[in-house]
Amino acid sequence: MLKISPFIALANYIGFSGYKAYAIGGAIAICVWFYICNLIISKYCGNKYFSLLLSTCLFIPLGMDDIDFLLGQESHLSNVVLSIMICLPVIIYIQESKKSFLCISSLAVILMTAEQPIRTLIIIAPFILFILIIFRSKTSVVSMLSIAVSFVIGKMANDYLLDRHFPLKVDYSQASLLISPDKAIDNLFIILKSILVYSSSSSLAVGSNAIGILTPFYFMGLLYILLFIATIVYGLKIFLHILIDGRKTKTSICRLDLLCALGATGFVLGLLLISCLNPEGRHIFWATCILKISVFATIFKIFKSNIKNNVYSYSLTIAMAICMSAIAPVLY
């Protein structure tokens, strides 16, 4: 339902066939999800140019994970955008009391759950914990109840679809077993290493000449890994400060810092969860993408604080994203 198939069907309807239909359908899908992502981020940030910058940086593939999940398996692209639709509108609703944003979030939960309940659960479990700890208000409780009810509705839709239309040969959710703590710890480090390595372009330049054309891009990829780790640490620091003193959410924490804290918390809790259940990093790709947005938001702020010109800051941030991306290693 959230895969590329409907867009390929649209391309077929327009008149394309074969590989052209696949390529055109994929391009249409990317454009649609980009538009939705940019729209949500613009409402969250309150700046359409800044949101366009962050959305563009998100959709630029940095490593093999981005190539495989954002451009290849576009079901992951849709899930990333739906994750953003779940999380950001809830924060807007809690802070601004606009019920329409809660409806958007609930709709995204239903759509994702109808497709794959386990993937939704991996997202909303840390998100519910994050929201209840961060905001500690009646509005936050109401929003989380709405998310829970939406999940139940989506699960009912999923059960109906499986029973009537798309029965599974193997239900992996029923086959999941809890594993021993030592195996879970091994999984945790394996998944973390895999995410750090394949989230940057450095892995694509391995084996190239040390004084060759790809060397600068290799080190730009390493720089992204360092910024990614720093963003996780900074986000966890914000989360712990709010956990200790909840009043900070009303005084000194901006939305970009909340986004960073959400990405870091979702990444760590999701990493722990999948290490015990299903050791595949793609299940927390949503948190990886939120952290990616936070990385480039930080890069933009660094440029802006030193240059004082938005146009140059936007341009340099995009240039940094391209230099850190997989474009040069793949083309070379």
What integer pLDDT is reported at residue 12 of this predicted model? 82
pTM: 0.91
* Cβ proximity of 29 and 74 under 8 Å: yes
pLDDT for 234 beyond 50? yes
Q: What average pLDDT score do residues 45-70 get?
A: 88
pLDDT for 169 beyond 50? no
What integer pLDDT is reported at residue 258 of this predicted model? 93
Q: What average pLDDT score do residues 166-188 get?
A: 67
What integer pLDDT is reported at residue 63 of this predicted model? 83
Under the phi-then-psi rule, with left for phi > 0, alpha for psi from -120 to 50, and beta for the rest, what region is 168?
A: beta
What integer pLDDT is reported at residue 82 of this predicted model? 93
- What is the residue-averaged pLDDT of the chain? 85
Q: What average pLDDT score do residues 280-296 get?
A: 87
pLDDT for 108 beyond 90? yes
Q: What percent of the chain has pLDDT over 70?
A: 90
Can you spell out the DSSP letters for 26-71? HHHHHHHHHHHHHHHHHHHHS-HHHHHHHHHHHHS--SHHHIIIII
Query: Rounded distance, CA 151 to CA 285, Å?
Result: 20
Can you spell out the DSSP letters for 129-152? HHHHHHH-SHHHHHHHHHHHHHHH
Strand, helix or coil for residue 2:
coil
Q: What average pLDDT score do residues 294-307 get?
A: 93
pLDDT for 102 beyond 50? yes
- Split at pLDDT 50, 70, 90, the class of 128 is very high
